Amino acid sequence: MPKVVQGDLESLSPEARDFIETNAKLCQPECIHICDGSEEENKKLLDIMVEQGMIKKLNKYENCWLALTDPRDVARIESKTVIITQEQRDTTPIPKSGTSQLGRWMSEEDFEKAFNTRFPGCMQGRTMYVIPFSMGPIGSPLSKIGIELTDSPYVVASMRIMTRIGTDVLKALGNGEFVKCLHSVGCPLPLKEPLINNWPCNPELTLIAHLPDRREIISFGSGYGGNSLLGKKCFALRIASRLAKEEGWLAEHMLILGITNPEGKKKYFAAAFPSACGKTNLAMMNPSLPGWKIECVGDDIAWMKFDEQGNLRAINPENGFFGVAPGTSVKTNPNAIKTIFKNTIFTNVAETSDGGVYWEGIDEPLPAGVTVTSWKNKDWTPDNGEPCAHPNSRFCSPARQCPIMDPAWESPEGVPIEGIIFGGRRPAGVPLVYEAFNWKHGVFVGAAMRSEATAAAEHKGKIIMHDPFAMRPFFGYNFGKYLAHWLSMAHRPAAKLPRIFHVNWFRKDSQGKFLWPGFGENSRVLEWMFNRIEGKASAKPTAIGYIPTDAALNLKGLGDINLTELFDISKEFWEKEVEEIKQYFEVQVNADLPYEIERELFALEMRIKQL
């Protein structure tokens, strides 16, 4: 056994000890370090990374660091992210033709082979860090615990920001169950070939595997956030959605915000948008409407469960923000800007010669004489013709630094959700906001979500992609069964079902200009939703749902807004939309599409016919 340089294996539960010892024998690290989560430990790890050239200190800010990765390791890789179950149908519906777009299945045998060609000896010469982490406030009845074994100090430093780690977690765990997470960058020492940017990774052999039946996540070859911080998408969405199905709750790709009206009345909303569609901006919005206040509970993931009284209670299982940097500015997200310039790890952004950071859309003029080095470590000027920061470059910042964190953001019982919002980038055809007729119709609206593709994954170009519930890359089990699970919430005794809405801030006119100003002005749409839940705002039924009556949307102080165009529901557009959705359900969900969803689609088709 490698020697333990920090912590005490003997003090751990038999299951935790066995997990660590088995993998230490397999991966053969030089030593084992059990993380306590302390400030002192964090300092040491940052020093080690500076020494290895993996990060550098950004002298302009307090305790901020910059990592530049190997250019082959910059995003989640959906093609190498798999779920292992006995039957393919446990993971995804069997498509009518082609391959499933709702997850990637791998057989148990294929995984065994893949595992055995990758992990033996993969940590030679490196330290195996043991990270006990809690998703959600330590000790909350809605929280879950994991232990991640990794050979990357970058992962430890990032997990310390994104989750709650260390000794307190081990105390809370006791002899309880935990999700087993194993991660290796796949670069045993001595190296076979030199590193690029001192960033260890193994792109040829990258694999991110989930074994829901064994409550395990096994990731190899990538040091990038979504592939290596296993608490994030892997646990908080893929494994958690499966636990949620078994235990009767929901694990969703949703921000959570609190909104208080001028009379002091407060409501909480959860909202699902695909990556890079403005989730973080909405979660941290400064409302333009006087007297309204928005506070942030979380910007990415919501775990939600009905309590005894029938309220849907939500926690943010994370402890930090792993946000897309490009496009973040004082104009687009002033509260993010106030959050990210201390105790933050930046990845793949550009660096300024005065020890600061820079990216596309930062909206800050460069001071005279200050130069920029791009994420590729090259001199950069605005006329270079390529971006200075990678489109998926990130900040990793503690949530507690956000000036508008909700007072209840760490409340163990969660906050009561009264509205659920779906949305995406739809340049054409989809109105600014509409409300579902009822819960079933709302589940259909989530299932039919489509959006322009984004940089957060390896897809290219501006194509409209299906992204049901903004969960397409994150379902932990068969999407048809997931829909049935959502529908089943309506049958819970005493459940107070939230209202469901769909928004689209991104509709354009024929000149390609946005019809709606967005950002802080989106509070006007939230006001309408808030008042709908209160039974105060008026709406009119349309073929696709309720939309605000002409006077119901507060446009005071806004310039010229073309409401007719913004809310236009074109028969021709929606006939095509219905066809697309029908095609998608038929091919992709096939035999697993719940009858209720089929019926909702048919009803929509009939309503469109009558336009």
**Distance between CA atoms of 501 and 516, rounded to whole angstroms?**
17
> Is 193 exposed, middle or buried, given 0-12, 13-18 or 19+ CB atoms closer than 10 A?
exposed
What are the C-alpha distances in Å from 435 to residues 112, 494, 504, 543? 47, 22, 12, 11
Name the catalytic one among 187, 277, 396, 402.
Answer: 277
Burial 465-502 (b: 16+ CB within 10 A, else e): bbbbbbbbbbbbbbbbbbbbbbbebeeeeebebbbbbb
Q: Give the whole-angstrom CA distance, residue 104 versus residue 347.
A: 27
Three-state DSSP class for 4?
strand
Q: How far apart (Å, rounded) are the C-alpha atoms in residues 191 and 188? A: 6
Pairing of the two strands 372-373 and 350-352: antiparallel
Examine the residue annotation and report whether 27 is marked as an active-site residue of this protein: no
Nearest to 108 by CA among 27, 212, 205: 212
Nearest CA to 321 among 225, 435, 457? 225
Contact 435, 545 (CB under 8 A): yes
* Tally of CA atoms within 13 A in the half-sphere of 367 that contains its CB: 7
H, E, C per residue of 381-423: CHHHCCCCCCCCCEEEEEHHHCCCECCCCCCCCCEEEEEEEEE
Give 293's strand partners: 260
Distance separating alpha carbons of residues 90 and 587, to the nearest angstrom: 17
Active-site residue numbers? 277
